[in-house]
Structure 1
Amino acid sequence: MESRNLPVIAVVGPTGTGKSDLAIALAQRLGGEIVNADALQFYRGMDIGTAKLAMEQRGGIQHHLMDIMDLREEASVAQFQFQARECFAQIFSRGKVPVLVGGSGLYVRAALDVIDFPPTDPAVRTRLEHEVQRDGEQTLRDHLARIDPVSAARKLDLRRAIRAVEVFEISGRPFSSYMPERKYVQPAIQLGLNLDRASLHERLAQRVHLMDAQGLANEVRQLIPRGLREGKTSSRAIGYQQYLDFIDGHISRAEAIEQTIVATRQFARRQITWFNADDRVTWFDPSEDGMIERALEHLRQATSNS
């Protein structure tokens, strides 16, 4: 296969399944560059807890959209969409193939699919929050039912209900009208990695213990003066939240490890649910022999039939 004949390749699935290793192998074989779609790997310094590959582990492959944000910044899906598509265009212009890799489902869809993101206005949102405090939640929900019955019927939590009213006030369009289609903005192929539940759970537990041994607690300590506590996204990241509690003396190190394992397993389950809902994903078991060759053969067949 020649890279100029290939679409965007996306390697997706739950955490801990070896997505980065497959992406690097494919990029090496196909002449590609990697675009990160793990939202937590955007953050500088969040290395151990996000399983971010060190430079010497990246197989000589150029990686994009890693270490691009400070801890206090809040990740934006809309901004990522623009950045990822710019990366795709630049990689294609060099005669190479973009390999998108990550388990942040919404970010993957933002990069690949036709999605029109609803506008936002903090001033409108703040006003609506004050109105809820003054008039009560039901008044807002009654208003939402009038302007966007589809969203109202979804029984959104209060934060999302306020967001739906905010979007209508800014754009004049119902929040529900922004629901994305499963339609690629440009040709793409998604390869999914997953294991049976017992194997995945065991692998995730081993991974958390390895992160602890590699010095996750020290990493968290070093990130505190850089703004870890103040970051809305970074401070809530799995592992970092638990180890902040450990450092603050609220839980023991063993409890931090166990809580991180549980939270990681729950996150993996949500990832599986998200990607399973997309029938465009072709799944592979990374524990089986010859996975790289099987993935390459699938790409050959998919591109020859397109």
Structure 2
Amino acid sequence: MMSSGLCSLRACCLRRPYSPAEPLIQTCQLPFTAARRLRRWRVSDTRCFVSSTGSKQKVIVISGPTGAGKSRLALELAKRLNGEIISADSVQVYRGLDVGSAKPSISDRKEVLHHLVDILHPSEEYSVGQFFEDARQATKDILSTGKVPIVSGGTGLYLRWYIYGKPDVPKASREITSQVYLELADLQERGDWDAAVQLVVKAGDPKAESLAPNDWYRLRRSLEIIKSSGAPPSAFEVPYDSFRQKVDSSGAESTPEVKSSTVLEEIKSKDLDYDFLCFFLSSQRLDLYRSIDFRCEDMLLGNDSILTEAKWLLDTGLQPNSNSATRAIGYRQAMEYLLWCKQQGGRTSPGDFFAFLSEFQKASRNFAKRQMTWFRNEHIYQWINASRPLDMVLKFISDAYHDQTGNLDVPEPLKMNKEMTSHREASELKSYRTKNRHFIGREDCSDILDWIRRIQ
């Protein structure tokens, strides 16, 4: 275990009571929780759902890059609107991965019910299709109790399928599933990813080459679809693509502003199952990057850190980058660092630790950048400045939920530009350098290095 010196550092990073005057971004806000099982759902009925008045029922969706304050906003909004939260985070589904996923605390989950948190062991896979069914069933359950569903998370594909629907891909029979598993088992055991990919490519899916390395679940799923239907996954229409085609054709002569409002609202009202109110929290990129860097440091403080969770993953027999859980940012880097230390007989230096921390921070910043790029093309979202006071954001979203006119205009003080606004900002980003808050000198990581030596 890490020494009490690190515990005292971590104590300053425990969550403080929320203040309405504070901005959403808190650079030192990390929940640390124990695992808790919640039940899983399945749903096959995705028809439009309407209220007793004949209008579509409303669902709030809150997304944003890592570290933007999504969880905090969702929690306070749920309290205000009598809602329940559905997590759209591909890491929070796993038990034991608490620190690295910034999982809501046990006390928060007692105060507001959270769905799809702690439902799997890290050795299990979880797909976007499973999330769609689980989240849609959770939505129906929440609405049936008269409460407000609030979907919160940053996994873009999860949210895209949740809002627009999932492709009508055939489900493989048990025989085909068993056949595919046996066909790829030897290759997976030998770690021969390239050979496995070529096997699936020859079977009929050339896009298998673009899968993330060692994503054996999706590789097997591709082969299952081919054997079940005779066609690759790409042959099945994705509802989102159909939606975008309608938007592009309907708004071909429109300005971007009109296309993002009038045209989209018209199509949304006709085609989507619910009345989705979607918000994307962000801030100036420099502020976001600083927040992410501090957040990564915070995850390394205390007895319960991302390193201790990474050690637990290794102790269960998992290897970095071997499945969904171990590919998650932070866990992959931490597992690789601990394995390297083990290969050195437990010997590690401050330089080694700082190299690991830098890689962790860089990967997290790059992930946030990819998230912003993804959601920049998701026109259904209203972008909100996460640096504005929490109470102001809460009031706007609460008013939007209760509004019956269908006009959703973000007030100027809350608006967040999707693009960089100046050459100065671009220049500052280009020259950005991390400035740590906790880990500055060699002595700041001595307790962690001692812990690593003791666990070997």
TM-score (structure 1 length as normaliser): 0.82
- Asked if structure 2 preserves the Cα contact closer than 8 Å seen for 1:125 and 1:166, the reply is no
- Asked if structure 2 preserves the Cα contact closer than 8 Å seen for 1:115 and 1:178, the reply is no
- Asked if structure 2 preserves the Cα contact closer than 8 Å seen for 1:72 and 1:227, the reply is no
**C-alpha distance in 2 between matches for 1:240 and 1:260:** 9
Residue aligning to 2:83: 32
**C-alpha distance in 2 between matches for 1:90 and 1:181:** 24
Q: For residues 239 and 171 of structure 1, do their structure 2 counterparts lie closer, same or farther at Cα, with a shift above 3 Å needed?
A: same
Q: 1:305 aligns with which of 406, 415, 437?
A: 406
Residue aligning to 1:147: none
**C-alpha distance in 2 between matches for 1:42 and 1:161:** 21
Q: For residues 7 and 227 of structure 1, do their structure 2 counterparts lie closer, same or farther at Cα, with a shift above 3 Å needed?
A: farther
Aligned pairs for 1:196-215 within 5 A: 196-214=284-302, 215=305
Q: 2:309 aligns with which of 201, 204, 219?
A: 219
Residue aligning to 1:22: 73
- Asked if structure 1 preserves the Cα contact closer than 8 Å seen for 2:167 and 2:239, the reply is no
Instruction: State the identity %.
Output: 31
Aligned pairs for 1:135-284 within 5 A: 140=201, 144=204, 157=209, 159=211, 167-173=225-231, 175-182=233-240, 184-214=272-302, 215-229=305-319, 232-250=323-341, 252-284=352-384
- Asked if structure 1 preserves the Cα contact closer than 8 Å seen for 2:201 and 2:209, the reply is no
- Asked if structure 1 preserves the Cα contact closer than 8 Å seen for 2:81 and 2:398, the reply is no
Give the aligned residue type for 1:271.
Q
- Asked if structure 1 preserves the Cα contact closer than 8 Å seen for 2:132 and 2:166, the reply is no
Residue aligning to 2:122: 71
Identify which range, 277-286 or 54-63, moves more after superposition. 54-63
**C-alpha distance in 2 between matches for 1:45 and 1:79:** 20
Number of equivalent positions: 292
Task: Give how far 1:165 is off.
Answer: 6.9
**Greater C-alpha Rg:** 2
Task: Return structure 1 stretches of 4+ with deviation > 4 angstroms.
Answer: 3-6, 119-122, 124-130, 136-141, 158-166
Q: For residues 185 and 139 of structure 1, do their structure 2 counterparts lie closer, same or farther at Cα, with a shift above 3 Å needed?
A: closer
Task: Give how far 1:9 is off.
Answer: 0.9
**C-alpha distance in 1 between matches for 2:307 and 2:72:** 25
Task: Give how far 1:108 is off.
Answer: 1.4
* Secondary structure of residue in 1 paired with 2:92: helix
Residue aligning to 2:4: none
* Secondary structure of residue in 2 paired with 1:305: coil
Residue aligning to 1:13: 64
Residue 204 of structure 2 is aligned to residue 102 of structure 1? no
Residue 377 of structure 2 is aligned to residue 287 of structure 1? no
* Secondary structure of residue in 2 paired with 1:22: helix
**Greater relative contact order: 1 or 2 (C-alpha under 8 angstroms, separation 6 or more)?**
1
**C-alpha distance in 1 between matches for 2:162 and 2:324:** 20
Task: Give how far 1:49 is off.
Answer: 0.9
Q: For residues 254 and 139 of structure 1, do their structure 2 counterparts lie closer, same or farther at Cα, with a shift above 3 Å needed?
A: closer
**C-alpha distance in 1 between matches for 2:388 and 2:132:** 33
- Asked if structure 2 preserves the Cα contact closer than 8 Å seen for 1:9 and 1:188, the reply is yes
- Asked if structure 2 preserves the Cα contact closer than 8 Å seen for 1:128 and 1:166, the reply is no
Deviations 1:163-222 (A, max 9, x none): 767634422455334242235333322111111211111110010011111422222223
Task: Give how far 1:38 is off.
Answer: 0.3
Q: For residues 227 and 85 of structure 1, do their structure 2 counterparts lie closer, same or farther at Cα, with a shift above 3 Å needed?
A: farther
**C-alpha distance in 2 between matches for 1:72 and 1:138:** 24
Residue 113 of structure 2 is aligned to residue 62 of structure 1? yes
Structure 1 gap ranges (5+): 145-150
Q: How large is the Cα RMSD of the aligned pairs?
A: 3.2
Structure 2 gap ranges (5+): 1-50, 188-193, 212-217, 241-270, 342-347, 408-456
- Asked if structure 2 preserves the Cα contact closer than 8 Å seen for 1:13 and 1:271, the reply is yes
Give the aligned residue type for 2:209.
D
**C-alpha distance in 2 between matches for 1:165 and 1:86:** 28
Q: For residues 127 and 249 of structure 1, do their structure 2 counterparts lie closer, same or farther at Cα, with a shift above 3 Å needed?
A: closer
TM-score (structure 2 length as normaliser): 0.57
